[in-house]
Amino acid sequence: MATLSPLLKQATPVLAERGEGVYLYDTAGNRHLDFTAGIGVTNTGHCHPRVVEAAQKQVATLIHGQYTTVMHEPLLRLVDALGEVLPDGLDSLFFLNSGSEAVEASIRLARHATGRQNIVVFHGSFHGRTMGAAALTTAGTKFRAGIGPLMPGVAVAPFPQAYRYGWSEDEAVRFALRELDYLLATVSPASDTAAFMVEPVLGEGGYIPAPPAFLEGLRERADRHGILLIVDEVQTGFGRTGRFWGHEHSAARPDVLITAKGLASGFPLSAIAAPAALMEQAWPGSQGGTYGGNAVSCAAALATLRVVQDEDLVGNSERQGARLGDGLRKVAADHPVIGDVRGLGLMQASEFTGADGEPDAAAAQRAHKAATERGLLLLTCGAYGNVVRMIPPLIVTAEQVDEALGLWSAAVADAVG
Ligand code: PMP
């Protein structure tokens, strides 16, 4: 008899049977308010009827049109449609299956296009678990311990973490950019540096939005030194932060954009987009894969994009995100153990800290568990596991936000008294 490997870790004990909108139903018939959205994937809600219909139709027509062997319509239609929402100039794209694969593809592209080797990432970054992506991931030792040696050619610079160090946002940005300049002057010469890779909001690293001035400072340095700016929008894209792309909270525009998760409502699909002139620096056949751009995933992604547009999910993310953030701050005001509430759009988090300002992971884990028991599914994040995050589907209503806040308030009271 086979069993599921114990090396997988599951955040909740739920055995899911069915999903509908923002709710998951388990095999015992219990209803759970899903504020995890499958780690920020089911932005259109579980089993949105238009996504289901598009996928069912495609399954009956062509499942696997292998895109390095034959081209297929769903992929071409999706390329066209994504042109409507991608940043100006990022007019060339191709598809893979997961965020990690797209991150790997962006490393190849950056190295091919610049002839340089190093990638600079920022403390708290999460870019994936495959070996190249793991080398770029600094969100916690659990993602790196015991698997080295990791890919060389990675340098790490500070991310502006104002709360952690008790700084103003300006001070945190100044520190981070000065450290980056120092890194370029010491460890990773600009002439060896292919790219900066950054998340518009640190995701697994603790839900810390990048201040606009930080992203703009990266853009300025990238231009000055001929370094590419790769923006990892795997978690922040497709309306999650209340803008279509997370980087749009700043004036900085990327050279390479990575998207996955929300792109296809749960079907495996990722993409990287860049100017055609940059893609042309690599050669045909330098990227690819068996399943990339799967026809069913592409059909689901096209339906997802239309739902995001037709139902104004970006606007809803901004509106409900503000409501959620305000409610979380009210809960925090009653419980000093929640030292910070932050986020953009429907990417919101509460950080648990002790009286000494140090991370209080035990309190965060208790609150998470109490919420699960009350029927509110959440995730934790942060290097110390002391941040509880909320990432509901972007279709969430004001009533459902209030329902979640009621459960959260009770769960925190259960956890910390
Ligand atoms: N980049 C970011 C910003 C992510 O949040 C994630 C997943 N949490 C990844 C990359 C990796 O994506 P995947 O798990 O699909 O490989």
| Assigned architecture for domain 51-311 | 3-Layer(aba) Sandwich (3.40)
Are 296 and 63 a contacting pair, CB within 8 Å? Answer: yes
Residue type at 120 in one-letter notation:
V
Are 134 and 125 a contacting pair, CB within 8 Å? Answer: no
Q: Is the CB of 227 under 6 A from ligand 1?
A: no
Integer Cα distance of 230 and 216 in angstroms = 13
Q: How far away, in angstroms, is 167 Cα from ligand 1 center? A: 29
Q: How far away, in angstroms, is 100 Cα from ligand 1 center? A: 6
Pocket test for ligand 1, best of 43, 125, 126, 387 (most atoms within 8 A of CB): 126
| Assigned architecture for domain 16-34+312-416 | Alpha-Beta Complex (3.90)
* pTM greater than the 0.95 cutoff: yes
Q: Where are the domains of the chain?
A: 16-34+312-416, 51-311
- ipTM value for the complex: 0.99
Integer Cα distance of 187 and 210 in angstroms = 23
Nearest CA to ligand 1 atom 13: 99
pLDDT in tens, 234-266: 999 999 999 999 999 999 999 999 999 999 999
Q: Is the CB of 240 under 6 A from ligand 1?
A: no
Mean pLDDT throughout 116-129?
Answer: 98
pLDDT in tens, 86-103: 999 999 999 999 999 999
Atom number of ligand 1 nearest to Cα 97:
15
Q: How far away, in angstroms, is 129 Cα from ligand 1 center? A: 8
Of 298, 319, 341, the C-alpha closest to 392 is 319
